[in-house]
Chains A and B, each alone.
Chain A
Amino acid sequence: MSVFPGRLRKVTLGGRRKAQGASAAPEREAVAGMADVAPADIASNDPIIAYFQAASGAVDLEGLELESPARDALRAAGVKMVVPLVSQGELIGLLNLGPRLSEQEYSTDDRKLLTNLASQAAPAVRVGQLVREQQAEARSRERIDQELRVATLVQQQFLPKELPELGGWEVAAHYRPAREVSGDFYDFIELPEGRIGIVAGDVTDKGVPAALVMATTRSILRGEATHAAGPGEVLRRANDLLVPDIPPQMFVTCLYGVLDPATGRFRYANAGHNLPYVATADGVVEMRARGMPLGLMPGMDYEEKEGTIGPGESVLLHSDGLAEAHSPDGEMFGFPRVMKLMEGSGGGSEMIDVLLEELDRWHGRDAEQEDDITLVTLKRSASAGVTMSADEPQEELTSTAPAAPGRTSSNGRADDSVQVLDEFTLASEEGNERLVMERVTGAVAGLPLGSKRLERLKTAVAEATMNAIEHGNQNKAELPVSVRVMATDDDVQVHITDLGGANEVPDDTETPDLEAKLAGMQTPRGWGLFLIKNMVDDMQVTTDGDHHTIELTLHLKGDGNDD
C-alpha cells in the first residue's frame, strides 16, 4: 500500500505537542530538539520527495540546494534537520528536528544516532499506518453492512407476512435472497369479489436504492390494482408513475395477474418478467404476454391475456435465480429443466421443494447462490369447480405459439442472444398491415438500422402481413395475425404468422414480369412475395400444419444492398 507524498505524516521527536500547531516560529524554550510543524503537505511534484527517498540518512536543510516549496516551509517552521523515514523504498514520513538546545550544530554522532533511529522507526511507523488504514476500512465495511441491514429491513417489511387463504387453493411461496438484500419481491393483493392480485417482480440492482424502488413499486401496484380495470392497465399506469422517479439504469420486471379463485380464471400482464408456467395434466404451458419492464419508457402498453388454471393444476411464478443458476462447470439450469421438473412434481409446495432440491443437487449445496430466488405457486385442488371451468376456452394459454422465441433463428442455428422486442396480434382486416408497419417501426426504433433499411423492412413487413391476412387467414377478421419482432447483435427479424398452415404455401416460382403483365400474359398483381424477397436479406417460410409463418431477416449493417 503506497502512501501518497501529499499525505506524508509528520513524526516529531519529543513528547509534547503544541496546542496551536503549525506555523509557529521556532521556540527555543520547547522540549529539546523539537520543531512542531503542520502535517507536511508536500506537493506530489516537489523534488524534495525524490531527494528524501534517495537520502541515506539525516538531511541538513540549511545546506539543501533545491527549488522546493516544502523545504522553504520546513525552514520557515524552524526545522534544521530532516530524517526521512523510508520503508520498503517508500517515503512514509519525516522526522523533523529544530536546532539543538545547546545551540551547537548537530554532530556526526547525532546524525548516526538519528539515521539508526530512522531505520528502525520507519517499519514501526509503517505498521502503525497500516493499522489505521485497516481500521478505516473496517469502519467503511461496517457502514456498508449497516446499509445492507437497513435495506433488508425495508425489503422484508414489504414482503407478505402471511400467505392468503383461498378456498380450494394451496398457496405457497419461497423466497431466498442471494446476498443480504435481494431485488426480488412478491405480493398478494385482495381485490373485490374474492379475486386476488398476484405480483412477482425483480428490481435490477441491489442494496438500499433497489429496496426503495421495490417498496415504491409495491405501493404503486397496490394502489393501482384496486382502481385500474385490468392487469394490463395496472402495469401501464405503474410504469408511467415509476418512469419519472426511478434512478437511471434501474428498472423493474414484473408479472401481475388477477386470479378468480372460484373459476380458476387468471388474467395477467407481464412487464418483462419470466413467463408464468402452468402445470397441467398434458404438460407445462407458458403464459405469454408482451410488455417492457417498468420504469424504462413512458407510455408503454401491456398486453393482457387470460388463462384458466384447471382443477389439479398449478401456476408457478418464478424469478431468474432459479432458471439462470449455473452449475460449477457453467451450464445454466434453464427454463426447460424447470418445466420438466414441474411436470412430475405434484404441484404446489411439493413442486417448490422438488425444484429447490434439484437446484441444490445440481449446482452444489455449498455453492454461493448467484441471484435471488423467488417462487410463488398456486395449486387448485383437484375436486374444485370442474363445471365452472369446463367451458372456459384456453386459447390464451399459448402453448400453440408456432415457435418459441429465442430458441432458434430462421437459419436454424441455436441462438441465445435473440431479444424479443415486441409481440402482438391483429385482426385479419384489410389495411391492418399499416398498423403492423407502424408498430414494427416503433419496436426497432432503438436498433442501428439505417433509414433505407427501415423502409425496406416496413415494406417487407407490410407485404408479409397482407399475405397473412388475405391468403393465410382468408380475410376472416376473427383470425389473428401474430407478429414477433426480434433482434440479435447483427439482424432484425420479424416473424409473421397466420392460421393458414393447412393452405398450400404460395408457389413462388412465377417471378412477376412486367412485360408479360403488360401483354396480358400475367395478372397485373402478384408482386408481394417478389417485393418481400427483394427487401430483406433472408426470407423463410415455415408451416406446422396449423400455422404459416414468414420469417424476415434484415442485417442491421448494410452489405451493399442499400445502393
Chain B
Amino acid sequence: MAQRTLEMQVRKPHEGSAIVDVKGDITGASEDILMDAYNQAEGARAIILNFEGLDYMNSGGIGLLVTLLVRAKRQHQKIFAFGLTEHYRQIFELTRLDDAIGIYATEADAVAAVNS
C-alpha cells in the first residue's frame, strides 16, 4: 500500500519565529506530527511553514491547517508559508487559506514579511 510519510522539523533561526520544514504528505492522518511541530514552535510569534518538500496535500490536510490556524489565532500567533507549488497555491486561493496565511515564494521573503 501507499507509503505515507511526513516529517516536520522545526528550526528557530530568528528571534520570535519558527520555521517548520514539511517533508512528505499532509493528510488527515498528519494531525499528531503537525501538532507536535506546533508545540515545538511554542513561544514563536510567527510560524513559517516551509512547503518546499510537500509531496501531496489533500482535503484532510487542509482541514488540519484550519485547525492549526484556529489554535494559532488563540495564541495570537501568525502563520506564514512559502515554497508552495503553483497547484497548491491555487488550492490555498480557492479555499481562501491565503487570506489567513501569508504566502511567500521563498524563505527570505517570508522571514522579511514576519519582521516587517
Is A463 among interface residues, defined by CB-CB distance under 8 A? yes
Report the minimum CB–CB distance from A511 to chain B (whole Å): 11
Whether B87 pairs with A452 at a CB distance below 8 angstroms is yes
Whether B2 pairs with A432 at a CB distance below 8 angstroms is yes
Is B95 among interface residues, defined by CB-CB distance under 8 A? yes
Size of chain B's interface in residues, with CB distance under 8 A?
29
Is B75 among interface residues, defined by CB-CB distance under 8 A? no
Contacts A462-B58, A524-B63 known; A518 to B73 CB distance under 8 Å? yes
Whether B4 pairs with A528 at a CB distance below 8 angstroms is no
In the bound assembly, the distance between CA atoms of A525 and B58 in angstroms comes to 11
Contacting B at CB under 8 A, from A502-544, are 512, 514, 517-518, 520, 523-528, 530-531, 534
In the bound assembly, the distance between CA atoms of A317 and B5 in angstroms comes to 46
Contact partner of A525 among B1, B60, B70, B96, CB < 8 A?
B60
Size of chain A's interface in residues, with CB distance under 8 A?
29
Chain A residues with CB under 8 Å of B60's CB are: 466, 525
Chain A residues with CB under 8 Å of B63's CB are: 523-527
Is B15 among interface residues, defined by CB-CB distance under 8 A? no
Contacting A at CB under 8 A, from B1-33, are 1-2, 4, 25, 27-29
Binary interface profile of A, 142-172, with partner B (CB < 8 Å = 1, else 0)? 0000000000000000000000000000000
Chain B residues with CB under 8 Å of A466's CB are: 58-60
Residue of B nearest to A532 (CB): B59
Chain A residues with CB under 8 Å of B87's CB are: 452, 455-456, 459
Is B62 among interface residues, defined by CB-CB distance under 8 A? yes
In the bound assembly, the distance between CA atoms of A462 and B86 in angstroms comes to 18
Report the minimum CB–CB distance from B88 to chain A (whole Å): 9
In the bound assembly, the distance between CA atoms of A517 and B97 in angstroms comes to 11
Query: Interface majority SS on A: helix, strand, loop or mixed?
Result: helix
Counting from the closest, the 10 A-B pairs by CB-CB distance are A525-B63, A524-B66, A527-B59, A455-B87, A434-B2, A528-B59, A514-B96, A524-B63, A524-B67, A431-B2
Pull 23 A–B residue pairs with CB atoms less than 8 Å apart, ordered by A.
Answer: A431-B2, A431-B4, A432-B1, A433-B58, A434-B4, A434-B25, A435-B2, A452-B86, A452-B87, A455-B85, A456-B87, A462-B56, A463-B59, A466-B60, A512-B95, A514-B97, A518-B70, A525-B28, A525-B59, A525-B66, A527-B59, A530-B94, A531-B94
Chain B interface (Cβ < 8 Å from any Cβ of A)? 1-2, 4, 25, 27-29, 56, 58-60, 62-64, 66-67, 69-70, 73, 85-87, 91, 94-97, 99-100
